Amino acid sequence: MANALRVLAMDAVEQARSGHPGMPMGMADVATVLFTKFLRFDPTDPAWPDRDRFVLSAGHGSMLLYGLLHLTGYPGLGIEELKRFRQLGSITAGHPEYGHTPGVETTTGPLGQGIATAVGMALAERMLNARFGDGLVDHRTFVIAGDGCLQEGISHEAIDLAGHLCLDRLVVLWDDNRISIDGATSLSTSMDQQARFQAAGWHTETVDGHDGCAVEAAIARALAAGKPTLIACRTVIGFGAPNKQGSESTHGAPLGAAEIAAAREALGWTAPPFEIPADIATAWRAAGRRGAAERARWAERLEASPEAPRFRQALSGELPLEVFAALREHKRTLSAKAPSLASRKASELALEAINGATDLTVGGSADLTHSNLTITKGLETVQAGRFGGRYIRYGIREHGMAAAMNGIALHGGLVPYGGTFLVFADYARGAIRLSALMGVRVVYVLTHDSIGLGEDGPTHQPIEHLAMLRATPNLNVFRPADAVETAECWEIALRSRATPSVLCLSRQNLPTLRTRDSEENVCGRGAYVLREAAGERDVTLLATGSEVELAVKAADLLAADGVEAAVVSMPCWELFERLPAEERRAVLGTAPRVAVEAAARLGWDRWIGEGGAFVGMEGFGASAPAPALYQHFGITPEAVAQAARSVMRRTS
Amino acid sequence: MANALRVLAMDAVEQARSGHPGMPMGMADVATVLFTKFLRFDPTDPAWPDRDRFVLSAGHGSMLLYGLLHLTGYPGLGIEELKRFRQLGSITAGHPEYGHTPGVETTTGPLGQGIATAVGMALAERMLNARFGDGLVDHRTFVIAGDGCLQEGISHEAIDLAGHLCLDRLVVLWDDNRISIDGATSLSTSMDQQARFQAAGWHTETVDGHDGCAVEAAIARALAAGKPTLIACRTVIGFGAPNKQGSESTHGAPLGAAEIAAAREALGWTAPPFEIPADIATAWRAAGRRGAAERARWAERLEASPEAPRFRQALSGELPLEVFAALREHKRTLSAKAPSLASRKASELALEAINGATDLTVGGSADLTHSNLTITKGLETVQAGRFGGRYIRYGIREHGMAAAMNGIALHGGLVPYGGTFLVFADYARGAIRLSALMGVRVVYVLTHDSIGLGEDGPTHQPIEHLAMLRATPNLNVFRPADAVETAECWEIALRSRATPSVLCLSRQNLPTLRTRDSEENVCGRGAYVLREAAGERDVTLLATGSEVELAVKAADLLAADGVEAAVVSMPCWELFERLPAEERRAVLGTAPRVAVEAAARLGWDRWIGEGGAFVGMEGFGASAPAPALYQHFGITPEAVAQAARSVMRRTS
């Protein structure tokens, strides 16, 4: 049965003239044991909530996964799709893509992401188990990881967190083949991985990855270990290719016709490409039916459970209407009271409303809880053995946090949000990108969003980060100007089922500018006229977040000079882009435009046009109190007013 | 003496009403032992090449470092500067900044960067030692790191690399205070750090960080360990503040007047703020003079050494003229032969010329050597005990690689470059930003720079990365269109002493477009007219890298229709921005403009203006052969020509 996986991988890579045969051939035996003896799944219902999760962290070995999905009978994965491996429009992409192929639990390829995402899945499983009990939630998360996954830094964050939380239903099968792209792993690492995982509180096993019985026994011990487990599977990369196996030449290129023929010979495989002998195909189909009865029993338990409505609601991903009602009421209060609040504080208030109205949201922070203001009243900390809580101490691990949130969102049943400083979006970039690529609802609460953070200085002051995030497809980047906008942005983030959100929030206080309550979620337009000019516009001032206040003050200065300025708040460019062109034009107006944002200019020219001006940062920040920095870098109402006068002259 | 550090930290943070007293107070004893007994330095010559390097990886404890530099007599760090801690224009910024304060070896603050940068410094020391011998290069690298540094993923990459290379002159003093911002570290980690470091091949020690004798003995053992060493220093955060010590409340906020008074009492410190009793000040000054004699002896050895000119040349950072002559000759050959080459291959050819003309360049790759094409003939791999090589196997560790390159560049004597895929700039973001902030000459060779990489699919296809890098201050982002431009961009990168460079390079072949040789480095203008219109321009086509070829073909299509199109190649926006406005206008022209780049639009509106059009990516890529992807996403000469016709209509 394992040879079927090997041959499919060889043949599909050869046909595509592109791909990675080495890993599937090396791990075929391990995967066969896992899928025929342990993994609980049912190809007729790939989304069965209590299925085991399987994550191919070494995503380049995608043909291993496609082979498994094909042989066990997943829908849509007929042999024709395998023949179209890596071709346009196929569901057999170069790396496994979530949402693209049934049975693919998460997108992998960027190394280490899979294992870190799996930590989130395993955590979500325990958290849902604590809420719904063994009868409804009782599954495992299995990972196949390669040397690259374990060399990447994110793996450290992931295994430390998993060990700390004692996620004993997580099993990582490490393809210990001692080969990476450049050659022997001994070129670049001397790590004792077993000792390293033990140091993080994991159970470890070491087996011959081509000895099915040994692998089976090791997995069985892992399931009883009471800790997360690493199984080091000693394998030969490209196993079965007689002249190339054990060498990096099998890693990322087709084996070639001659070597494939030799491998068929060596493996005793006589069937032509893409044909599986009937007995082997039958055995695999039987493996694919192993879970059906269990799923049926589970479905009966769910039917009989008094928790069924609550469980279904959680798994549906729909937040209860109470959340939005609470936010609506909260917004009304804010407009009436018009407090002066940092937008991070406004976010905390919004979260009080949200978390009070649902228990589906789970918060956390990368060790900046009282800076990000991500915890609300009554949220208990999640700890090993105490998974009923709703607040995750992610530690000083931004990348691991982001990937874990991806895993929680993918698992289903919970809505994750987590905080760090905006500047440390850098550290989480790899996983934020995957949030966007997969289209999962993860909310990043990124505070201290400009030089306004003050004394910590340029290492902590984001400059290019708004541009970096705005350039990312399918990511909503919010920078609310006041508490009302913050509440609206939170609402949009929670309603965006297929798009992650970033909330960029100030450290410093901001006045409430939206003092007139509105039924509409105005931020849903992305940008809007916060304050129209009294007469015909002489100039339009564009701003986001903490700089909207500056734009309003600049408009006051200009008005005193008889210049009519409108102020446009632009909390979310992505949403504004989606407005019909004429609505966008109405907001931006035909008068010359000045933008102000305490960040890099890149991207703003789209809104200010060639005649416009930008007031913002031209280099890195500095260490000083925030008001001194705004003065120093010339981001002031006076500077905005002056820029307005200058663009008016230029165009008149 | 340690109490002087404590009191200065308390007082400076109090005065600034901002900062982190807990770490300096906790690590004052350890730092005192290090600076009075071990660290080899001379404040009269902070740049002495054979000094020991001291890296405060836990950069928030900057007052510890400023206190040390002040007390040992570094220039410019009088008591007045300590009083101006975290104020605008002071050299006592919130976090230590390289180039801003004498004695600060690297910018720290983003956690984990210091330890990973120190690995590069320790590696550079061994590499220079292999070249120049013990007489000229024989120093150590000491790091103070906190819990955050060890939780961040980058620390894993760094310690694995250091252990593998057996960098036995690296000593990490871990401030093991069991407190992070959110509270006890037991909230988020259960890692056995000693076991973890041992797994990576390190020697470890565990001491009471307030027992000077024990710390001294541990450091002495570390120096003889023959491996990199971790010393776990058990400390009490905020040591000396009787009511707050041991608590996270001392971490990141002033202690307050009452607690400072109580701490003075507890420490038996009667001197007023910012005053150091004479005997203690004298003892510290003496510590600051410890290294002078050694430096003098070293200077004598240098004077007497036949290697002196070569050593001075290396340390000067000036590359020999032969490098630029070789590149010039190489460029001439390319223009004459006009090969069709992937720009990654063109980069390899440029590197052959460069590496053949100097031995100061040191290459490497994050396990993608034969994809990045970063190795050239005769470059030996650097390994433990064999540091004479010039090629570093960074492993699958982009972040660690980037930080190590920062360390190599900061150390001096070598010019580092390293490769990965452009998309994995994500993983290295934190360290790339520090390259830019510090202004070090590091060259990032980032290949597979678009959907042109083909079948590996969207996880491997950069979209937003050009925008992310272009938005970063002080970073030159090059995307050369052919082999000639690639050679020119390499030249600029090597000449940019205070700016890191990113070379974005294609996987796919590109024709040579610059077939007329030029003495000038044309890419130095950032953008230029590659092909002028025959008559008056009807339209201007802007492009970078692999899409310049498409623009040229589009111009041909348009010419066949009688439309006069100029083609502008824009290999480096940052340099183009620096041109005088009128030169920029001459290049861009007054005709409507179309830009083409297989990436996100963000940023392009600056160049195309409101009437312009952009042909590029609107979302993530897909898995398919590259030509199919360019067709699928509509990035073709035909699409560019059509966009040109459309903007011409719009503006006519």
Inter-CA distances, B534 with B473, B522, B530, B559, Å? 37, 21, 13, 9
| Pairing label, strands A341-342, A509-510 | antiparallel
> Is B1-299's fold the same as B321-511's?
yes
To which residue do tokens 């790759």 refer?
A: B365
| Pairing label, strands B443-447, B476-478 | unpaired
Q: Is B109 annotated for ligand binding? A: yes
Confidence tier at A472 by pLDDT (50, 70, 90) = very high
B142 within 8 A of B34, measured Cβ to Cβ = yes
> CB A472 to CB B463 under 8 A?
yes
Over residues B157-183, the pLDDT tens digits come to 999 999 999 999 999 999 999 999 999
Distance CA A329, CA A342 (A): 20
Token couple for A423: 């500047």
Over residues A21-41, the pLDDT tens digits come to 999 999 999 999 999 999 999
Distance CA A295, CA A40 (A): 9
Distance CA A583, CA B571 (A): 35
Predicted model pTM: 0.98
Comparing CA positions, the residue from A359, A358, A349 lying closest to residue A329 is A349
**pLDDT higher than 80, residue B597:** yes
- Please tell me whether residue A239 adopts helix, strand or coil conformation: coil
Q: What is the pLDDT of residue B143?
A: 98
Which residues lie below 8 Å from residue B89, measured CB to CB, with a gap of 6+?
Answer: A624
As a whole number, the mean pLDDT across chain A is 97
> CB A474 to CB B620 under 8 A?
yes
Q: Give the rounded distance of the alpha carbon of A97 from its chain centre.
A: 13
| DSSP H or E segment with residue A392 | strand A391-393
Token couple for B634: 């509509």
Over residues B557-578, the pLDDT tens digits come to 999 999 999 999 999 999 999 9
Distance CA B341, CA B512 (A): 8
Q: Give the rounded distance of the alpha carbon of A633 from its chain centre.
A: 34
Comparing CA positions, the residue from B642, B430, B422 lying closest to residue B544 is B422
| Pairing label, strands A528-531, A565-569 | antiparallel
Distance from CA of B127 to the nearest CA of A (A): 16
**Percent of chain A with pLDDT strictly greater than 90:** 99
Q: Is B251 annotated for ligand binding? A: yes
* CA distance from start to end of chain B: 78
Kindly calculate the radius of gyration of chain A based on its CA atoms and give it in whole angstroms.
Answer: 27
Q: Which of residues 188-207 of B touch A (CB under 8 A)?
A: 188-193, 195-196, 198-201
Q: Does A19 touch chain B (CB under 8 A)?
A: yes
| DSSP H or E segment with residue B265 | helix B257-267
Q: Mark residue B549 as left, alpha or beta (left: phi above 0; alpha: psi -120 to 50; beta: remaining).
A: alpha
Tell me the CATH number for domain A527-651. Answer: 3.40.50.920
Q: Which of residues 452-471 of A touch B (CB under 8 A)?
A: 454-460, 463-464, 467-468, 470-471
Domain layout of chain B by residue ranges: 1-299, 321-511, 527-651
DSSP code of residue A311: H
Distance CA B323, CA B329 (A): 10
**pLDDT higher than 70, residue A17:** yes
DSSP code of residue B379: P
As a whole number, mean pLDDT of residues B609-614 equals 94
Q: What is the pLDDT of residue B381?
A: 98
Distance CA B384, CA A188 (A): 10
Tell me the CATH number for domain B1-299. Answer: 3.40.50.970
Q: Does B472 touch chain A (CB under 8 A)?
A: yes
Token couple for A635: 């981001």
Over residues A408-448, the pLDDT tens digits come to 999 999 999 999 999 999 999 999 999 999 999 999 999 99
Question: What is the DSSP track for A491-544?
Answer: HHHHH-TTS-EEEEE-SSEE-----S--SS-GGGGS-EEEE--SSS-SEEEEE-
- Please tell me whether residue A618 adopts helix, strand or coil conformation: coil
Inter-CA distances, B353 with A440, B328, B330, B482, B508, Å? 47, 9, 7, 17, 22
Q: Is B210 annotated for ligand binding? A: no
Domain A321-511 has CATH 3.40.50.970: yes
Over residues B138-156, the pLDDT tens digits come to 999 999 999 999 999 999 9
Q: What is the pLDDT of residue B44?
A: 97
Distance from CA of A180 to the nearest CA of B (A): 7
**pLDDT higher than 80, residue A652:** no
For residue A634, which phi and psi values (nearest 5 degrees)? 70, 35
A467 within 8 A of B471, measured Cβ to Cβ = yes
> CB A198 to CB B195 under 8 A?
yes
| DSSP H or E segment with residue B595 | strand B593-596
Q: Where are the alpha helices (DSSP H) in B133-247?
A: 147-151, 153-164, 193-199, 212-223
Q: Which among A86, A434, A468 has the least Cβ separation from residue B623?
A: A86
B335 within 8 A of B517, measured Cβ to Cβ = yes
As a whole number, mean pLDDT of residues A639-643 equals 98
Q: What is the pLDDT of residue B652?
A: 65
**pLDDT higher than 90, residue A364:** yes
Comparing CA positions, the residue from A141, A119, A56 lying closest to residue A408 is A119
Token couple for B391: 């090629």
Over residues A107-156, the pLDDT tens digits come to 999 999 999 999 999 999 999 999 999 999 999 999 999 999 999 999 99
B162 within 8 A of B170, measured Cβ to Cβ = yes
Over residues B371-395, the pLDDT tens digits come to 999 999 999 999 999 999 999 999 9
Token couple for A434: 């995957």
Q: Which among B152, B187, B470 has the least Cβ separation from residue A393?
A: B187
Q: Is B319 annotated for ligand binding? A: no
> Per residue in A200-230, is it b (16+ CB within 10 Å) or e — as a string?
bbbbbbbbebbbbebbbebbeebeeeebbbb
> CB A147 to CB B400 under 8 A?
no
Q: What is the pLDDT of residue A650?
A: 81
Catalytic residue among A81, A205, A248, A398: A398
As a whole number, the mean pLDDT across chain B is 98
Which residues lie below 8 Å from residue B321, measured CB to CB, with a gap of 6+?
Answer: none
Catalytic residue among B152, B398, B488, B574: B398
Let me know if B398 is a catalytic residue: yes
Report chain B residues whose CB lies below 8 A from the CB of A191: 160, 163-164, 199-201
Q: Is the ipTM beyond the 0.95 threshold?
A: yes
Over residues B324-341, the pLDDT tens digits come to 999 999 999 999 999 999
Count how many pairs of residues, chain A against chain B, have C-beta atoms within 8 Å.
355
- Chain A: residue whose CA lies nearest to B457: A94
